[in-house]
Chain A
């Protein structure tokens, strides 16, 4: 029992969030366009916050962003792009700096995916938390630099594949020869410019500057790759996914886990957020 409680201590609960119709829900400062209470009203009323709280939320589209650990998001430091062992196979995985599912009327994230395995500062594998399969279209693209070797000439075809790490929850017809892999796009080796050293390595801020190191994450020969994506994909409940970088090498090529840098880009897909919002609305109306 806490007998030394400040008189103005409190816990916050539903009434502080969305007692529609809104009254007194004025943002307490000028940090946000809407207060939390106003924002909840907008979200759960289909942008009609002056009305009474509806029994059911309207159908609502959401959008999910898969944002790789791009150069500007890491302040121009590299993120480890490891080989992940799954059974007897190793997959090179593109880390995501974040995966953010949004319903447009709030910056708060919707719990559509949860991280499963992470690298130093990025999400490698992620689990779909929806109750039903999500059939959607993945849009976007990535511009990346790839270290092909220490010296000499080599070319590499890079194919981006959305893969399922665990397939316990997939229908059996997804477990055939293709194992449910969803190919997203490729950058062809034939169109590689000659690999080159990084012309201005001082524009990168890799690794802690006070510690002398016996090597560099910036040495070697690099090429720039661009992969545009517009593909139909499916996410199954309780299934874990990852973005695999599949390489096919020609000539002398030796890929390393610091040899993939994501200049810019990302991917997004739409999803039906109404189930999540209806569950939330029922929770609020119970109070």
Chain B
């Protein structure tokens, strides 16, 4: 038994992605790695979890990394999907992208990343793929924002794939980074993320750590306070950790992700967690 992977390059853009003039669709593509346990006899018997990375990620993940192995050990096929400019994906079709201080395209930037998530879902749910739907989506930082934005648009024309995903788990979802004077216009950031998370259409966990200086507690609470009564999101803190805590508490997030996917009650320190603002 060993954890192993297959690398996939040249994943095409989403079918309905409106490529900008004069760019050519074929010049842009995504890359991913599919991680699994080589002792498994049937791929389709294991649910697929797709991970979307943060903005600082450049390299592909290994099957033993803290992102992949916790869910492989819980019986999931894991795909780590790379956005433009990361892994072995192509460069971005845009000159200025997520988080650019001088490019305050907040909501629009999230729409753009939702198209990337859509490309992953279309590719891995295609008839020639061995995976079963619905998928679990999980992500960190930019990747977390991306999957919430995708959920918002998942039943829109051109996306139409809401049923292919069961639930989503995101850590530190924000637009760029907002804390410690890193990047500008936190108020547009809050307006953007609050609207996106209000429109979340899947059961979800939004992790925001207490010492996250890119999505600090007051930022997360302002977004949480705006949630509607029908909010399907659990707002959960892993405790006094910073933005990049997922490697420090792998069992914590992996167990909760598995619980959410398996329709189990979400329990935090003996208490049943409540949705939205409770």
* B95–A205 CB distance below 8 A: yes
- B190 near A5: Cβ-Cβ < 8 Å: no
Q: Point out the residue from B103, B218, B220 that lies within 8 Å of A75, measured CB to CB.
A: B103
Determine if A98 and B22 form an interchain contact, defined as CB atoms under 8 angstroms apart.
Answer: no
Name the distance in Å between A256's Cβ and chain B's nearest Cβ.
7
Minimum CB–CB distance from A274 to chain B (whole Å) comes to 16
Interface size grouping (class) on chain B: 35 or more
A217 and B93 alpha carbons, distance in the complex (Å): 13
Cβ-defined contact, B256 with A98, below 8 A: no
Q: Establish whether residues B256 and A2, one from each chain, have CB atoms under 8 Å apart when the complex forms.
A: yes
- Whether A209 lies near B95 (C-beta < 8 A) is yes
Cβ of B104 within 8 Å of any chain A Cβ, yes or no, is yes
Smallest CB–CB gap between A111 and chain B, Å? 5
Contact at A118–B158, with CB atoms within 8 Å? Answer: yes
Q: Report the bound CA distance from A100 to B191 in whole Å.
A: 7
Contacts of A17 in B (CB 8 A): 221, 224-225, 277
A29, B108: Cβ atoms under 8 Å?
Answer: no
Q: Are A18 and B225 in contact (CB under 8 A)?
A: yes
- In the complex, which of the residues B156, B216, B226 has the most CB atoms of chain A within 10 Å of its own CB atom? B226
**Is A196's beta carbon under 8 Å from chain B?**
no
A11 close to chain B: CB less than 8 A? yes
**Given contacts A11-B271, A106-B226, are A121 and B109 in contact (CB under 8 A)?**
yes
Which residues of the partner chain A approach B225 to less than 8 Å between Cβ atoms?
A: 17-18, 36, 39-40, 106, 108
Known contacts A29-B216, A120-B111, A121-B109; is A2 also within 8 Å of B268 by CB?
Answer: yes
Whether, in the assembled complex, A97 has its beta carbon less than 8 Å from a beta carbon of chain B, the answer is yes
A97 touching B107 by the CB < 8 A rule? Answer: yes
Task: Decide if B17 touches A120 in the complex (CB within 8 Å).
Answer: yes
Count of residues in A whose CB is under 8 Å from the partner chain: 78
Whether A31 contacts B191 by the Cβ 8 Å rule is no
- Closest-by-CB residue of B relative to A97 is B108
Least CB distance, A120 to chain B, in whole angstroms: 5
Most buried by B among A2, A31, A123, A207: A2
Q: List the interface of chain B (C-beta within 8 A of A).
A: 17-24, 27, 91-96, 100, 102-109, 111-112, 114-115, 152-153, 156-158, 178-180, 186-188, 190-192, 194-195, 198-199, 210, 216-226, 228-229, 234-240, 249, 251-252, 255-256, 259, 264, 266-269, 271, 273-274, 277-278
Q: Which 10 A-B pairs have the closest CB atoms?
A: A13-B278, A36-B221, A215-B22, A98-B107, A8-B239, A75-B103, A108-B226, A121-B108, A4-B251, A107-B187
A-B contact pairs, 9 of them (CB 8 A): A11-B266, A12-B235, A13-B278, A17-B225, A27-B218, A73-B103, A119-B18, A120-B18, A210-B91
